[in-house]
């Protein structure tokens, strides 16, 4: 029998994350939505808490996520990936933009966890790393990276422009995707850890956005940017037969987390909507057929079922990662379902709440705006469906575009 109860060892950290979301994030959520690009100073107090959780292997998305999970006994394992997922669900129940602004918990940390050697993990395990992939010339096609990295003595020299870098201004390090040899195609794309103070790295501008306004989204310029040779994550060898599976493994870690963000946000919207319906005298019953219930109650039950499906897919993807099972298909399935579910639930919640939901009195309209990015970054809805189709049909990227 499958037991979906949260393991005891994770309950304390998950409860702590929920308390932070309720007592820190929610009270300042609207404040930083209206004050875009202003640094949430309230989150500075969380730095020590985050470091403690990371040391315990239970941070929201630290660089050690999924690493160091040892199988001491036979059977199933719930480790760093599941702990990270449970915590990010809770913090995004509070606020997605603020979750993305938590010190030392950038999406680049998951890239480090996926690709770094043990020695690199020791050096970069506690940095705050954002992730820089997208460029002006491409969006979802990660293989189209044009940023270059040329070895000059014992340093890499990086040149290029990166856009839509989450926490790009505030993080201490940036994980940059760049090609070491354009003639060898996608196989030559590698990940590089670039310190914030590296010569040649600059912030060109910060983007104004529809949602997650508490999070800074930067355009970064790399102009003869020099970093140490050993800041290239993983192996420097270019294996044209293997492709760029190493750097793409990053997404197997981050996509379940982004799915978890949508799950947490949608749960917040469902809880708020349930209260609004109850106050309006609409009873949601689990014992009465939906065709015999108020239309709003029937719609709510549909939304809740959609949420449950996304939640189950998401925890499966995280569980597989903890148990060393290839989860590329499941990670994309979870991301696709949760991203679509998040936008559907939050927009419908605004609709069912009427003029009250469309106003700024509750957070429903904000959550509807925030939800859209979760269906876009870390691979769009369309890209996830393409990946799922390739895996299910056993076709290559050249055979199914």
Of 238, 242, 240, 249, which Cα lies nearest the Cα of 175?
249
pLDDT in the model for residue 60: 44
What tens digit of pLDDT does each residue of 134-193 get? 999 886 676 789 999 999 999 999 999 999 999 999 999 999 999 999 888 888 999 999
Q: Is-contact 150 97, C-beta < 8 A? A: no
For the record, the structure tokens of 134 come out as 């997208």
Of 145, 181, 179, 186, which Cα lies nearest the Cα of 162?
145
Please compute the mean of the pLDDT values over residues 340-345 and round it to a whole number: 98
What tens digit of pLDDT does each residue of 27-68 get? 999 999 999 999 999 998 776 666 655 555 554 444 444 454
pLDDT in the model for residue 64: 43
Characterize 291-327 residue by residue with b for buried, 16 or more Cβ atoms within 10 angstroms of its Cβ, and e for exposed. Answer: eebbebbbbbbebbebbeebbebbbbbbbbbbbeeeb
Domains of the chain and CATH, by start: 8-124 (1.10.540.10), 129-231 (2.40.110.10), 245-393 (1.20.140.10)
- Pairing relation of β-strands 129-132 and 173-179? parallel
Characterize 81-101 residue by residue with b for buried, 16 or more Cβ atoms within 10 angstroms of its Cβ, and e for exposed. Answer: bbbbbbbbbbbbbbbbbbbbb
pLDDT in the model for residue 52: 59
What tens digit of pLDDT does each residue of 271-330 get? 999 999 999 999 999 999 999 999 999 999 999 999 999 999 999 999 999 898 999 999
* pLDDT-based confidence at residue 382 (cuts at 50, 70, 90): very high
pLDDT in the model for residue 78: 80
pLDDT in the model for residue 246: 58
262 in helix, strand or coil? helix
Cα gap 358→349, rounded to integer Å: 10
- Mapping DSSP onto H, E and C, the string for 345-371 reads HHHHHHHHCHHHHHCCCCCHHHHHHHH
Residue 115 has pLDDT above 90, yes or no: no
What tens digit of pLDDT does each residue of 209-250 get? 999 999 999 999 999 999 999 999 988 888 776 655 556 777
Cα gap 264→90, rounded to integer Å: 6
Is 378 a catalytic site residue?
yes
Catalytic residue among 51, 74, 378, 399: 378
User: DSSP assignment, residue 293?
Assistant: S
What tens digit of pLDDT does each residue of 247-266 get? 677 788 889 999 999 999 99
Residue 113 has pLDDT above 90, yes or no: no
Q: Beta strands of 153-276 (E only): which ranges?
A: 155-166, 173-179, 189-195, 201-206, 217-228
pLDDT in the model for residue 46: 76
Which residues, 6+ apart, have CB-to-CB distance to 246 below 8 Å? 115, 190, 191, 234, 235
What tens digit of pLDDT does each residue of 64-101 get? 444 544 444 566 778 888 998 999 999 999 999 999 99
pLDDT in the model for residue 277: 98
pLDDT in the model for residue 401: 87
């Amino acid at each position: 029998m499958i037991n979906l109860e949260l393991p005891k060892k994770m309950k304390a950290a998950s409860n702590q994350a929920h308390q932070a979301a309720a007592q820190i994030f929610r009270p300042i959520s609207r404040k930083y939505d209206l004050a875009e690009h202003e640094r949430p100073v309230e989150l500075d107090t969380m730095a020590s808490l985050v470091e403690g959780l990371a040391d315990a292997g239970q941070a929201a998305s630290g660089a050690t996520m999924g690493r160091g999970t040892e199988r001491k006994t036979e059977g199933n394992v719930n480790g760093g990936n599941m702990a990270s997922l449970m915590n990010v669900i809770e913090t995004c129940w509070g606020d997605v933009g603020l979750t993305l602004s938590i010190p030392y918990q950038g999406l680049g940390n998951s890239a480090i966890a996926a690709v770094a050697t043990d020695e690199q993990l020791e050096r970069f395990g506690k940095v705050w790393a954002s992730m820089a992939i997208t460029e002006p010339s491409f969006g979802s096609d990660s293989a189209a990276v044009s940023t270059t990295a040329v070895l000059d003595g014992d340093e890499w020299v990086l040149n290029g422009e990166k856009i839509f870098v989450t926490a790009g201004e505030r993080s201490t390090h940036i994980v940059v995707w760049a090609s070491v040899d354009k003639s060898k195609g996608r196989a030559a794309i590698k990940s590089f850890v670039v310190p914030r103070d590296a010569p040649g790295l600059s912030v060109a501008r910060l983007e104004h956005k529809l949602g997650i306004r508490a999070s800074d989204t930067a355009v970064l310029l790399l102009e003869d940017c020099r970093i140490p040779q050993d800041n290239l994550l993983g192996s420097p060898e270019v294996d044209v037969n293997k492709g760029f599976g190493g750097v793409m493994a990053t997404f197997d870690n981050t996509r379940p987390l982004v799915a978890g963000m949508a799950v947490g946000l949608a749960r917040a919207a469902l809880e708020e909507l349930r209260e609004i319906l109850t106050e309006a005298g609409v009873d949601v019953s689990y014992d009465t057929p939906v065709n015999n219930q108020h239309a709003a109650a029937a719609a709510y039950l549909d939304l809740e079922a959609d949420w449950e499906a996304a939640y189950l897919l998401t925890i499966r993807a995280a569980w597989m990662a903890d148990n060393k099972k290839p989860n590329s298909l499941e990670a994309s399935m979870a991301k696709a379902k949760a991203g679509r579910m998040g936008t559907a639930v939050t927009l419908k919640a605004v609709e069912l709440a009427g003029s009250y939901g469309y106003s700024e009195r509750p957070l429903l309209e904000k959550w509807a705006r925030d939800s859209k990015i979760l269906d876009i970054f870390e691979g769009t809805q369309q890209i996830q469906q393409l990946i799922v189709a390739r895996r299910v049909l056993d076709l290559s990227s050249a055979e199914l575009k």
